[in-house]
Amino acid sequence: MTVSASSQTQSTQALIGFDPQGEMPSNEVLLKMYTLMLTLRFWDERSLKLQRSGRISFCVTTKGEEATQVGTVAALRATDWVFPAYRQPGIPLWRGANLESLAHQIFGSAKDVSLGHQMPNHYSFHHLYYASVSSVIGTQIVHASGAALAAQAKGTDDVAVTYFGDGSTSANDFHSALTVAGAKKAPALFFCVNNHYAISLHVSQQTGAKYLADKGVGYGVKALRVDGNDVLAVYQTTLAMAERARRGEGPALLELVTYRLNPHSSSDDDARYRLKGEMDGWIDKDPIPRFEAFLLEKGVLSLPQVDALKIQVEADVLEATKIAQETPLPDWQTLIEGVYAEIPATLQADLDDLLAHEQGLSLPHPGAFPL
Amino acid sequence: MNATMTPSSQMTSSLIERNPETPITMVQAINEALFQALESNPNVIVFGEDVGISGGVFRATEGLQAQFGEARVIDMPLTEAGIIGSAYGMAVAGMTPVAEIQFADYIFPAFDQIVSEVAKLRYRSGGDCACPMVIRTPYGGGIRGGTYHSQSPEAYFTQTPGIKVVIPSTPADAKGLLLSALQSPDPVLFMEPKRLYRSPKGLVPVDPTPIPLGPARLVQAGKDLSVFCYGAMVDICQAAATKLQESDGVSIEIIDLRTLSPIDEASILASVRKTGRALMVYEAPKTGGYGSEISAIIAEKAVEYLKAPIKRVAGLDTPYPYSLESVYMPHPVRVMRAMQEVLGF
Ligand SMILES: Cc1ncc(C[n+]2csc(CCOP(=O)(O)OP(=O)(O)O)c2C)c(N)n1
């Protein structure tokens, strides 16, 4: 296929776009991709509202970066392991997680799979081959190298993939990951989501390299730059690199060039550092209207369908968060669950001691004293 | 006083103007100490993630880059090992580095540099080389930060000879101790209790007034029980003691350790020998925590003075939770109950 053939000889400098001659998803898949991108956008809006009104403590959004999630996961198999950062809720949603399970996580409710152990947006879906998110930057990158070695050892042709930001390419584990995968020709795909900022630091200050993709070269890892706001370009390139890895030809680093349209998180004030005028050009490249225009032009979607979808998706998001909001917090026993496979007796005794004396006391948040 | 600081007659800040009678926050106090250090010592260099243009995620370095320039207040790439490794190199080359690790939870990528290199340079060279530096990092719970924005990893570092560990609990101590850390001939890990960054406020001298590293602070004197704490646990212990003193008429001594390493053993022993009872309060997991070390010192050197078994109030032996943080983190009710238990033995 065209992308695969041309990308073998791509320099890391050329930005790969959509290839009209290249591999295309079916209309059904295209529709699923569009619907998920809309869902992510509404999910962001709703999360921010919940955070602003004090119903959840914090959130990170993925506004502007929807194509990097949807274009990649649509080109993967359901059994390809994913080691995500905190900006990829689209992956479990694509693979069948429902919005309600995400909502329980951001509320840390009694129905949160992770037992209310982590901050919002740190999802875990082992059964969907999506490994729990850590807040620590970069640690997950090398986990993909390991899962890729596991695929080699088992003799399957699965690939393992990981997502991380531009800032994360400075973290130790990025280098460990590419060292391992490069040396072993492991079937791993490294998706570097270059959204131009690591909190306040612009990507131009993050590295002396001209392009982040250049970092793959020294490790013997095939490296490409892709238009990360073109969901079909992302899809085609991912498919080509995954097939290449499945054939045993080695790992690839895909720099998905995109832009973070929101502040880093609900705690961040991007007015302090965002380069003047930079945002404007990127709003024009917003991946959702771009994809929408393409689908309308191809007749995959009609305008009335678009309107109906938006109403439906917004309602789904609202419903899911309402349910989670009404769910109580986890039981105190969950404090000591999941530390080890078995709860140590001393730990149970310490919790029982707390329970014996303080159950029934409604403890306010530690920021406010109960005295 | 270290020769790198200007003499005390000149230790007034030309640029900071504020009313010394107006209380300020801990984060302002830290900012002021950094400002004055940069102003008075050309070798001071402040760097870390997001410390420059944005002024730090907690605003501790607000305005410093605008005042002192990008060469001395540096936004670093996202590599903690790179930050601390660079600090080592700067220190050896004669600078006074102040490195910020954005959250104590993210110090571990630099653990090797701190434990193997920074802390051991003086020893392994027999004193031939040293790398004085300050590593500032916000730590602890109380901000709904969950597993990776709430940890209290001080014990990993108090287990590491060669680096001092300092934890302030008031705005005034934050400024005074940080100024001393900047003059220390040895590396200092300066852990800032982030729950206290913005409140309560306190009076802080405007002129740079270093508070020596080492001595603990007597928060309140008492006769019946000694409470040993530091950082964000100090005001929790005070709240508990105030309540109990009112209700039960007891007299409680509270000691804020401030410098955890090297430890102020004399103050600990003197207090326990006076009161005969000891309670350790810390928010890190209980096992192997810093309060366990205080317990051991008391057991070794003052057991004959004890009228009751010693007790620890600490975090559970689990990672830090999100939803049930208010149960996990020691709070005044829990501390009060522990005080009653030790007093009622
Ligand atoms: C080891 C580590 N250091 C610092 C942080 C604090 N931090 C959280 S996100 C972030 C920036 C990440 O930037 P990037 O990798 O580009 O991802 P993005 O947030 O842009 O998606 C930093 C410094 C962290 N989580 N982990």
Interface of A with B in 8-67 (CB under 8 A): 57-58
On whether residue A70 sits in a domain, the answer given is yes
Report the number of distinct structural domains present in chain A: 2
| Pair A289, A337 in one domain | no
| Pair A343, A273 in one domain | no
In angstroms, the Cα distances linking B124 to B117, B120, B129 are 9, 6, 9
Q: Is the pLDDT of residue A370 over 60?
A: no
Phi, psi dihedrals of residue B320, rounded to the nearest 5°: -80, 130
* Gyration radius of chain A's alpha carbons: 21
Q: Answer whether A263 touches B (CB < 8 Å).
A: no
Do the domains spanning B9-196 and B217-343 agree at the CATH topology level?
yes
Residue A125's domain spans which residues?
A: 11-325
| Pair A64, A82 in one domain | yes
User: Given this model, what pLDDT does residue A359 score?
Assistant: 56
* Whether A147 contacts A83, CB under 8 Å: yes
- Whether residue A260 lies in the annotated active site: yes
On whether residue A371 sits in a domain, the answer given is no
User: Given this model, what pLDDT does residue B13 score?
Assistant: 57
Taking residues A308-327, what's their average pLDDT?
A: 98
* Whether A106 contacts A50, CB under 8 Å: yes
Q: What is the pLDDT of residues A53-89, one digit of tens each?
A: 999 999 999 999 999 999 999 999 999 999 999 999 9
On whether residue A351 sits in a domain, the answer given is yes
User: What's the pLDDT band for A371 if we cut at 50, 70, 90?
Assistant: very low
* Whether B162 contacts B187, CB under 8 Å: yes
- In this complex, do A117 and B144 lie within 8 Å of one another by their Cβ atoms? no
Cα A197 to middle of ligand 1, angstroms: 9
On whether residue A259 sits in a domain, the answer given is yes
* Whether A84 contacts A124, CB under 8 Å: no
Tally of residues, chain B: 345
- CA-nearest of B193, B235, B233 to B103 is B193
HSE (side-chain half, CA atoms, 13 Å) at B133 = 33
| Pair A337, A208 in one domain | no
- In this complex, do A171 and B332 lie within 8 Å of one another by their Cβ atoms? no
| Pair A288, A303 in one domain | yes
| Secondary structure of residue A236 in the 3-state scheme | helix
Q: Answer whether B195 touches A (CB < 8 Å).
A: yes
On whether residue A2 sits in a domain, the answer given is no
* Whether A235 contacts A18, CB under 8 Å: no
| Pair A89, A172 in one domain | yes
Q: Answer whether B214 touches A (CB < 8 Å).
A: no
Distance separating alpha carbons of residues A144 and B338, to the nearest angstrom: 47
Token pair for residue A323? 């349910």
Angle at B234 between CA B279 and CA B303, to 5 degrees: 20
Q: Is the pLDDT of residue A366 over 60?
A: no
Distance separating alpha carbons of residues A171 and A186, to the nearest angstrom: 20
Q: What is the pLDDT of residues A210-258, one digit of tens each?
A: 999 999 999 999 999 999 999 999 999 999 999 999 999 999 999 999 9
Distance separating alpha carbons of residues A98 and A61, to the nearest angstrom: 18
Q: Can you give chain B as a three-state secondary structure string?
A: CCCCCCCHHHCCCCCCCCCCCCCECHHHHHHHHHHHHHHHCCCEEEEECCCCCCCCCCCCCCCHHHHHCCCCEEECCCCHHHHHHHHHHHHHCCCEEEEECCCHHHCHHHHHHHHHHHCCHHHHCCCCCCCCCEEEEEECCCCCCHHHCCCCCHHHHHCCCCCEEECCCCHHHHHHHHHHHCCCCCCEEEEEEHHHCCCCCECCCCCCCCCCCCCCEEEECCCCEEEEECCCHHHHHHHHHHHHHHHHCCCEEEEECCEEECCCHHHHHHHHHHHCCEEEEEEEECCCCHHHHHHHHHHHHCHHHCCCCCEEEEECCCCCCCCCHHHHCCCHHHHHHHHHHHHCC
Taking residues A293-322, what's their average pLDDT?
A: 98
On whether residue A162 sits in a domain, the answer given is yes
Token pair for residue A25? 């998803």
Token pair for residue A364? 């306010």
Distance from CA of B113 to the nearest CA of A (A): 12
The tens-digit pLDDT sequence of chain B (345 residues) is 333 334 343 445 567 889 999 999 999 999 999 999 999 999 999 999 999 999 999 999 999 999 999 999 999 999 999 999 999 999 999 999 999 999 999 999 999 999 999 999 999 999 999 999 999 999 999 999 999 999 999 999 999 999 999 999 999 999 999 999 999 999 999 999 999 999 999 999 999 999 999 999 999 999 999 999 999 999 999 999 999 999 999 999 999 999 999 999 999 999 999 999 999 999 999 999 999 999 999 999 999 999 999 999 999 999 999 999 989 999 999 999 999 999 999
On whether residue A5 sits in a domain, the answer given is no
- Report which of residues A367 and A325 the model is more confident about: A325
User: Is the Cα torsion angle B80, B84, B89, B91 positive or negative in sign?
Assistant: positive
Residues 6+ apart with CB under 8 A from A283: A261
| Secondary structure of residue A190 in the 3-state scheme | strand
Token pair for residue B49? 């993630």
Distance from CA of B120 to the nearest CA of A (A): 22
Largest CA distance in chain A: 70
Token pair for residue A302? 């009609």
| Secondary structure of residue A79 in the 3-state scheme | coil
Binding-site residues, ligand 1, Cβ < 6 A: A 87, 135-137, 164-168, 195, 197-199, 260, 264; B 49, 78, 80, 102, 106, 109
User: Given this model, what pLDDT does residue A356 score?
Assistant: 83
Distance from CA of B140 to the nearest CA of A (A): 12
* Whether B174 contacts B33, CB under 8 Å: yes
In CATH terms, the fold of domain B9-196 is: Rossmann fold (3.40.50)
ipTM: 0.94
Please report, rounded to a whole number, the percentage of residues in chain A having pLDDT higher than 70: 93
Q: For domain B217-343, say whether CATH 3.40.50.920 is its number.
A: yes
Is B161 buried (19+), middle (13-18) or exposed (0-12) by CB count in 10 A?
exposed
| Pair A160, A226 in one domain | yes
Question: Which residues of B carry out catalysis?
Answer: 149
Provide the total of helices (H) and of strands (E) in chain A, helices listed first.
14, 8
Beta bridge partners of A83: A162
| Pair A205, A258 in one domain | yes
Interface test with A, best of B64, B79, B233, B334 (most A CBs within 10 A): B79
- Taking CA–CA distances from B148, the nearest residue in chain A reads A135
Cα B278 to chain centroid distance, Å, stands at 21
| Pair A341, A224 in one domain | no
- CA-nearest of A152, A160, A150 to A248 is A152
For chain B, give every domain's residue range: 9-196, 217-343
| Pair A315, A336 in one domain | no
| Secondary structure of residue A63 in the 3-state scheme | coil
Q: What is the pLDDT of residues A255-271, one digit of tens each?
A: 999 999 999 999 999 99
- CA-nearest of B91, B217, B92, B108 to B157 is B108
Q: What is the pLDDT of residues B179-219, one digit of tens each?
A: 999 999 999 999 999 999 999 999 999 999 999 999 999 99
Q: Answer whether A134 touches B (CB < 8 Å).
A: yes
Q: Is the pLDDT of residue A1 over 90?
A: no
- Taking CA–CA distances from B108, the nearest residue in chain A reads A136
Token pair for residue B245? 């003193």
Phi, psi dihedrals of residue A325, rounded to the nearest 5°: -60, -30
| Secondary structure of residue A202 in the 3-state scheme | strand
| Pair A205, A127 in one domain | yes
| Pair A161, A243 in one domain | yes
Distance separating alpha carbons of residues B20 and B84, to the nearest angstrom: 35
In this structure, which residue's CA is closest to atom 12 in ligand 1? A198
Query: A256: left (phi > 0), else alpha (psi -120 to 50), else beta?
Result: beta
Is A210 buried (19+), middle (13-18) or exposed (0-12) by CB count in 10 A?
exposed
On whether residue A196 sits in a domain, the answer given is yes
